[in-house]
Amino acid sequence: MGSNGMLARRIVETEMPIMVQIQQLIRGAKNAVSLAQGVVYWKPPKQALDKVKALVEEPSVSCYGADEGLPELREALIRKLRQENNLQRSSVMVTAGANQAFVNLVLTLCDAGDSVVMFAPYYFNAYMSFQMTGVTKILVGPGYPKTLYPDADWLERTLLETKPVPKLVTVVNPGNPSGTYIPEPLLKRISDICKNAGCWLVVDNTYEYFMYDGLKHSCVEGDHIVNIFSFSKAYGMMGWRVGYVSDFVWFVKFVLSCICYILHSLPSNICIHPSKRV
């Protein structure tokens, strides 16, 4: 049983997370700081920490929750999407973090053997999500050298020339590890290129609040687009494992079929309890 031969090839061939590699590298080293993982210094909102002590005793928070997320939490998130992200038609499904949202989307949108597109420097977990689900034709596009924005000319050419057309394009906005945001006109152009080619665009907005110098983060909406969000960095709630997917309403039921009952964590049940909002 100790041999890799007993494991699924998909998993053996999935790269080890860079965070684990760095932890191994710096083990025992004095004063070494890992820059491999983004951990914010702010804590969850005080109201959340205060309320959680009382809520944890409630039997209902230890029960299975609604698959798509507690209705009251979803309503609050939809309000947020309308007001802050200008996503006027999208619905919401709560997930156990943005990472699980991404894996569920890959399971829902891609078959093993499909090709997909991402841009360097890419978020390692997204790359691994493809590998571990058998999506091994991962085309990695360049960023513009000065800005590290995804190179839209390369994308246009690649989607025209690659047959069959890649199934999914993913971008992170603002990027990890680049830190660079995607200006709205470029995001719209990327969206149009994907729509014309007939492929999905998945935008990971985990760092939506990491905007500086008066710049404003923006989202795009369309029936070929899925947006991902996370509580982790936005509210300092990394360990709570809460994220959400936003998309057109019809799409939700397909994602649901992938995640029925494997997504909910105690924190997401507590997060906005129907009777007592955190």
Residue 176 contacts ligand PLP per CB under 6 A: yes
The answer to whether 230 and 77 are in contact (CB under 8 A) is no
SS3 140: strand
CB 118, min distance to ligand PLP, A:
11
| Residue 204 engages ligand PLP in binding (rule: CB under 6 A) | yes
d(CA 194, CA 76): 30
3-class state of residue 141 by DSSP: strand
Report the distance separating Cα 203 and Cα 246, nearest Å: 10
Cβ at position 38, least distance to ligand PLP in Å: 5
CB of 181 to ligand PLP, least distance (A): 12
The reply on whether position 170 binds ligand PLP by CB under 6 A is no
State both tokens at 127: 């790359």
Pick from 268, 259, 230, 258: which is nearest to 123 by CA?
230
Question: In the bound complex, what is the minimum distance in angstroms from residue 207's beta carbon to ligand PLP?
Answer: 7
CB of 77 to ligand PLP, least distance (A): 14
268 binds ligand PLP, rule: CB under 6 A: no
Binds ligand PLP (CB under 6 A): choice among 85, 191, 232, 246: 232
Give the single-character DSSP code of 203. Answer: E
The mark string for 115-144 relative to ligand PLP (x by CB under 6 A, - otherwise) is: --------x---------------------
Taking the C-alpha atoms of residue 74 and residue 92, their distance in angstroms, rounded to an integer, is: 6
Which residues of the chain form contacts with ligand PLP (CB under 6 A)? 38, 97-99, 123, 172, 176, 204, 206, 230, 232, 238, 243
